[in-house]
Amino acid sequence: MIIQESELFKGLSPEIINEIAENMIEEFYGKGSFIFKDTYLAEHFYILEQGKIRLSVGQKGRMTHLISNPGETFGWSSLVGREIYTASAECLDPSKVIKIEKGNLNRVFEKDPASGMLFFKRLAGIIGERLTSSYSALLSAYKGEELPSYG
């Protein structure tokens, strides 16, 4: 089962994993298809099973991140209180993903807050890694120029 390969779900009990699995929907997308855009309502969370997804932020995809490893997750906006997605997710190859509706995932964790805490702690770590990667990409783009301040 793909969620067992995902770092985000490691350490959760088999019962919780099975309950989450009951709420998963498998979807297929062709090359060039968008799973979501940064104007869509953030209602689902995704796990890559196979393929390659480019997450783009900003006009003309000025900041991008590649999702290419089975078990990688995206669509976090749906889990952190955002109304719309902060990025667009475009398939660079034919792709198979698992979609989980945010309300269903939240209901599972409301019944087992310890598992929810572990999940969201891991999610915070993954978001932090992606943020650090984005900062590095931004800094390398300035190569000797005066850097902007982002707080």
Query: Mean pLDDT over all residues of the chain?
Result: 87
Candidate from 23-27, 50-54, 132-136 with smallest mean pLDDT: 132-136
3-class state of residue 105 by DSSP: helix
Has residue 147 got a pLDDT over 60? no
Q: How far apart are CA 5 and CA 139, in angstroms?
A: 32
CATH of the domain at 109: 2.60.120.10
In a domain, 126, yes or no: yes
* Structural domain containing residue 116: 2-137
SS3 63: strand
Assigned domain for 145 exists = no
Looking at residue 132, its pLDDT comes to: 79
Q: What is the pLDDT of residues 58-90, one digit of tens each?
A: 766 467 889 999 999 999 888 988 999 999 999
Q: Total domain count for the chain?
A: 1
In a 3-state reduction of DSSP, which class is residue 128? helix
pTM of the model: 0.83
